[in-house]
């Protein structure tokens, strides 16, 4: 039997079993098979070996062999496939600039490589080439106007660029394709960024049935909090915590809202509940210190400030807690 054909069959078997093999064992078997067929001079074997590495998640090794194969005169179809795999290898290594080059090269060979077009739009956005990203999304959507992913991602890009009216339009287009709660919350967020809190709130209310209950209550609470409607904010954060008592960030905001309302007894109850359940929660100790300070309970304020300082997970909280302790002297 021809040695190159034998090696090719061995490597093909490796591709099928790559996930089950230890990486070092995979490397040993590939090299053994490659040695039989002179892999460095055989494009087909190089591609097969690269594919085996790729399927095993060994992307730097796959990248090396794909690059070698590119210089051995692959067919146009093979070249397009290799460029796509090289781009993915580059992305896995957080090298978006290199991935962009591969996708652009593929599109020079064939403008109808729509998968590459969409991937290119995403990579342009990752490196803040927002204008090019938007152009790529627009070209893709002309061909596939019913692509939910492209519509939604284009909306996020426009929101990032500050084109909020266009972002809302794109999100609404995505919503016509698939009703998904993250699209609804993105529309609400865009209205909030415009300062149109009435529409932001109404968007959530109109879609209440489509949102997880705790997510609906939490987001609504934040919008009311930002507009100074503290009683409404407190009511919705309490509802969120009733649905999911483990929502720590919601509890912190609820405690803060109660403090702003001068409802110190309610704030104290929240803080004590959370610090009792987990004494290492520095932020709750810190807020409790402020509650006690406002209530004139200086000894408890110092105690909470010291606990917050000792349990702080950031230098900023340590400094704030130290300052709070100093204020109570």
The candidate with the shortest Cα–Cα distance to 95, out of 121, 130, 127, 117, is 127
Residue 153 token pair: 């991602």
Give pTM, 2 decimals: 0.78
pLDDT at 329: 63
Residue 212 token pair: 């997880």
pLDDT band for position 42 (50/70/90)?
A: confident
Residue 320 token pair: 């704030």
Q: Quick check: 99 pLDDT over 60?
A: yes
Least confident among 31-35, 114-118, 261-265, 279-283? 31-35
Mean pLDDT for the stretch of residues 74-98: 92
Q: What share of the chain is helix, strand, coil (3-state, %, to 5)?
A: 80, 0, 20
Q: Cα separation of 98 and 247, whole Å?
A: 41
Q: With both helix axes pointing from N to C terminus, report the angle between 23-37 and 43-55 in degrees, rounded to the nearest 10.
A: 170
Q: Quick check: 114 pLDDT over 50?
A: yes
With contact defined as beta carbons under 8 Å apart, do 186 and 159 qualify? yes
Q: Quick check: 48 pLDDT over 90?
A: no
Least confident among 189-198, 207-216, 264-273? 207-216
What end-to-end distance do the CA atoms of the chain give, in Å? 91
Q: Cα separation of 239 and 174, whole Å?
A: 29
Quote the mean pLDDT of the chain: 88
Mean pLDDT for the stretch of residues 298-308: 91
pLDDT band for position 1 (50/70/90)?
A: very low
Q: Judging by beta carbons within 10 Å of its beta carbon (0-12, 13-18, 19+), is residue 20 exposed, middle or buried?
A: exposed
Q: Quick check: 4 pLDDT over 60?
A: no
pLDDT tens for each residue of 154-168: 999 999 999 999 999
pLDDT band for position 5 (50/70/90)?
A: very low
pLDDT tens for each residue of 119-152: 999 999 999 999 999 999 999 999 999 999 999 9
Buried b (16+ CB within 10 A) or exposed e, 163-188: bbebbbbbbebbbebeeeeebbbbbb
DSSP three-state, residue 273:
helix
- Higher local confidence (pLDDT), 53 or 136: 136
């Amino acid at each position: 039997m021809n040695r190159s054909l034998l090696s090719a069959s061995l490597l093909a078997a490796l591709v099928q079993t790559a996930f089950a093999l230890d990486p070092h064992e995979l490397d040993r078997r590939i090299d053994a098979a490659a040695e039989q067929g002179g892999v460095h001079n055989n494009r087909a074997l190089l591609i097969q070996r690269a594919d085996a590495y790729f399927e095993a998640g060994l992307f730097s090794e796959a990248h090396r062999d794909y690059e070698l194969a590119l210089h051995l005169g692959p067919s146009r179809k093979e070249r397009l496939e290799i460029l796509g795999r090289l781009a993915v290898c580059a992305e896995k290594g957080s090298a978006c600039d290199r991935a962009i080059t591969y996708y652009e090269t593929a599109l020079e060979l064939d403008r109808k490589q729509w998968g590459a077009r969409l991937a290119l739009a995403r990579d342009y956005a990752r490196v803040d080439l927002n204008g090019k990203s938007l152009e790529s999304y627009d070209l893709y959507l002309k061909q596939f106007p019913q692509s939910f992913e492209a519509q939604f991602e284009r909306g996020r890009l426009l929101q990032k660029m500050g084109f909020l009216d266009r972002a809302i339009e794109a999100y609404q287009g995505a919503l016509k394709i698939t009703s998904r709660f993250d699209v609804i919350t993105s529309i609400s967020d865009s209205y909030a960024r415009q300062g149109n809190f009435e529409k932001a709130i109404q968007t959530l209310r109109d879609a209440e049935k489509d949102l997880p209950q705790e997510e609906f209550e939490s987001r609504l609470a934040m919008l009311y909090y930002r507009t100074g409607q503290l009683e409404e904010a407190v009511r919705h954060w309490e509802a969120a915590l009733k649905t999911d008592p483990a929502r720590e960030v919601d509890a912190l905001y609820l405690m803060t809202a109660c403090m702003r309302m001068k409802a110190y007894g309610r704030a104290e109850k929240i803080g004590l509940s959370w610090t009792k359940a987990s004494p290492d929660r520095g932020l709750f100790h810190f807020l409790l210190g402020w509650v006690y300070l406002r209530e004139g309970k200086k000894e408890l304020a110092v105690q909470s400030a010291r606990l917050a300082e000792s349990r702080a997970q950031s230098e900023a909280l340590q400094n704030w807690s130290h300052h709070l302790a100093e204020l109570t002297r």
